[in-house]
Amino acid sequence: MAVTAQAVGQLRERTGAGMMECKRALVETNGDLDAAAELMRKQGLAKADKKASRVAAEGVIATAVSADGKSSVMVEVNCETDFVARGDDFTGFAATVAKLTLDSKAADIAAVLATKTASGETVDDLRRTLIAKIGENISVRRFVRVETSGFLGSYLHGTRIGTLVALEGGDATLAKDLAMHVAAANPTYLAATDVPAEDVAKERGIRVEISKNDEKNKGKPEQVLVKIVEGGINKWLNEITLLGQPFVKDDKISIEKLLAKASAKVTRFERLEVGAGIEKKQDDFVAEVMAQAKGSGGR
């Protein structure tokens, strides 16, 4: 049967898919809009499964905060390209995931994907539908939930870095400042006592060897070398711990002293950065060209 432009337009509004895809679906279903939408959804799920193995290292960090400001969720949602990551469809999906994760109190990613929207669709249904629409692999990679009885600092640096800080004492401004500091300074631990003993021992061993091999230390007494090593260890600990770092807004004061001045205490902080830890595929174009040349007999 003939498919009208009006029917194609209606299907595009319902699915967000391209004009030709909509027309093909309507032809296959004899112009039945509901059947065509269902067919496209099934085809979309198949496309999503095919794209699941493709590396998705771009994306956004999205946050959601409870009405009372005491609980927040931060999620990383990934796609394949920065172009898609900037699109309204993708950022809207990420915001929806963050809100549903906050409201559902999901315990893990599996529970997040199974969370249902008001329309009855799951987050995974939305994800697969979006994959079919934009043509890239999309994944909900990870999330963190932070709760506090005090103040909660939340900060997004663009869409690629997000931080949460739980603060006892102080005020909302300090909590926000600390969240911005964590985004900029990227501490690994809260305090020196949180750094694993084996990591400290490894760092000390490295610095001992460096000290021994440094020409400037030749002939110095052992106790002096020990002080040099321990001084280096303390500096390293300050660099990787939130309390030891100089405040980004005033490097003359450490975070530890800033908190003491405000009679405040950080109980937890979290930082997510898009793509951190994901191994991105590096295309070797020279090898690719060589392989193609060999395959064509060198012609």
pLDDT in tens, 164-222: 999 999 999 999 999 999 999 999 999 999 999 999 999 998 888 888 777 777 777 87
Please give the share of the chain, as a percent, with pLDDT higher than 90.
62
d(CA 146, CA 74): 9
What class, spelled out in words, does domain 52-147 have in CATH? Answer: alpha beta
Q: Reply yes or no on whether the pLDDT at 10 is more than 90.
A: no
Ranges of each domain in the chain: 5-51, 52-147, 192-260
Q: What is the pLDDT of the chain when averaged over all its residues?
A: 87
Shared fold status for 5-51 and 52-147:
no
User: How distant, in Å, are the alpha carbons of 160, 162, 182, 187, 274 from that of 248?
Assistant: 19, 16, 9, 12, 22
Which region among 249-258, 261-270, 282-291 has the lowest average model confidence (pLDDT)?
A: 282-291
- pLDDT of 25 reads 80
d(CA 253, CA 244): 10
* Radius of gyration, CA atoms only, the chain: 26
Q: Reply yes or no on whether the pLDDT at 280 is more than 80.
A: no
Q: Please state the rounded mean pLDDT for residues 269-281.
A: 86
- pLDDT of 42 reads 64
Segment 80-136, tens digit of pLDDT:
999 999 999 999 999 999 999 999 999 999 999 999 999 999 999 999 899 888 888
Global pTM reads 0.75
CB contact set of 59 (below 8 Å; sequence gap of 6+): 76, 77, 78, 79, 85, 90, 94, 141, 274, 275
CB contact set of 179 (below 8 Å; sequence gap of 6+): 153, 154, 155, 163, 164, 165, 269
Domain 5-51 has CATH 1.10.8.10: yes
